[in-house]
Structure 1
Amino acid sequence: MMRHKRLDHRFVEHIPERLDPGILYVSMEYATSAHSCCCGCGEEVVAPFTPTDWKMTFDGETISLRPSIGNWTLQCRSHYLIDRGKVIEAGPWSDEQVEAERRRDRVAKARYYGQSPTVEPPIQAAPTSATPNFWRRVRDWLSRKL
C-alpha cells in the first residue's frame, strides 16, 4: 500500500542530500528526478530523463513520469505510476517479469546507442560503500543502465 498518494514537485538545480517525503525533486539542469519511495520505506528513487529511461511531462501545474516506477532492487519492491502528481499503485511483478523488462531495456538502450542488441553489457559489482553519496548512486545506476 502506498503511504504517499500524491507528490508535490519542486524544481531544483541540485537534488538535495535529504529528500522530504511527498516531494518529487526535478532537476532540469541534470535531466533527472528523485523522490523518497512512495511506499514510505524512505529509500531514494532516482528517475533520469533520457530517450531510453523516463519521460517527464509538466502541464504547468503537475508532473507525470512515464513509464511506471518499479523499485525491484529495493526491499519494498513497490511499483507505481506518477500521473499529474498523483501516485497510482501498480501491481507487483514476478521476478520473470522484472528480468524480461530488464532485457527489453538493455536492447532498447543498445539500439539507441548504436550497439548490437544481442551483446549483453558486462555485469558490474555492487558498490562497496553501504551508503554512497547521492551523485555516486546516480552515476553507478546510470552506468548499469547504459
Structure 2
Amino acid sequence: MTAQHTLRPVFTETFPPTMDAGALYVSISYRTCGHLCCCGCGHEVITPLSPKQWTLTFDGENVSLAPSIGNWSLPCQSHYWIRDGRVRWSRPYSAAEIDQNRACDRNLLAPETPLPASEPTSKFRRWLRSRRLWIPGRSP
C-alpha cells in the first residue's frame, strides 16, 4: 500500500469487513471513525468520538478530526492530522514524548472523583470568607 494524502468521508452505520485505503468511515450512531493508517502500513485506526477524545467536523464535503492521530501502538508510529480531508504529517515523536502524550491521555480519560457534597473546597471556602458569607464552624 502507498501513503494516503487525502481521505474521503464515508458515512455508514457500521464499518465494512475490509476498509478501503483513502476512506474515513464515520459512524454517527456508534460515535466512531475508522480508516486505514495513512502511512500505508495497512493497520486499521479507530478513533472514538467524544469531547475527551476526538471531535469530527464536517463542512458538507470534507471532514477534519481533532486532535492529531498518533499511532503509537503500531509499528509505524505514524503521526498526522486530518484537516479538510487532507492528511498533514506531523514530526516523529521521541519515546519520551510518546510516554508523556499517553500519560496526558490517561489523565484526561480518568474518571473524575466528585468532591464530598458536605464539604466545600478550600478555594471555595476562602472565597466565601472573603465575602463574609461563611463563618468557620457554621455550615455554608
Shift of 1:69: 0.4
Runs of 4+ in 1 over 3 A off after TM superposition: none
Partner of 1:136: none
The residue correspondences of 1:1-146 to structure 2 (distance < 5 A) are 3-110=3-110, 113-115=111-113
Corresponding pairs, count: 113
SS in 1 for 2:65: strand
Alpha-carbon distance in structure 1 between the residues aligned to 2:4 and 2:109: 31
User: Letter of the aligned partner of 1:60 in structure 2?
Assistant: G
Counterpart AA for 2:112: G
SS at match of 1:107: helix
Q: CA RMSD in A?
A: 1.3
TM superposition shift of 1:43 = 0.3
- TM-score (normalised: structure 1): 0.74
> Tell me, what secondary structure is at the counterpart of 1:98?
helix
Residue in 1 that maps onto 2:132: none
Describe the shift of the 1:115–1:103 C-alpha distance in structure 2 as closer, same or farther (beyond 3 A): farther
Q: Quick one: distance in 2 between partners of 1:64 and 1:115? A: 32
Paired letter, 1:54: W
Which residue of structure 1 lines up, in the alignment, with residue 136 of structure 2? none
- Among the aligned pairs, what percent are the same residue? 45
Which TM-score applies when normalising by structure 2?
0.77
Instruction: Tell me the distance in 2 between the aligned counterparts of 1:74 and 1:51.
Output: 24
The Cα shift of 1:9 comes to 0.7
- Unpaired runs of 5+ residues, structure 2, are 115-140
Per the TM alignment, residue 56 of structure 1 is displaced from its structure 2 partner at its CA by 0.5
Post-superposition offset of 1:115: 3.5
The residue type equivalent to 1:114 in the other structure is: E
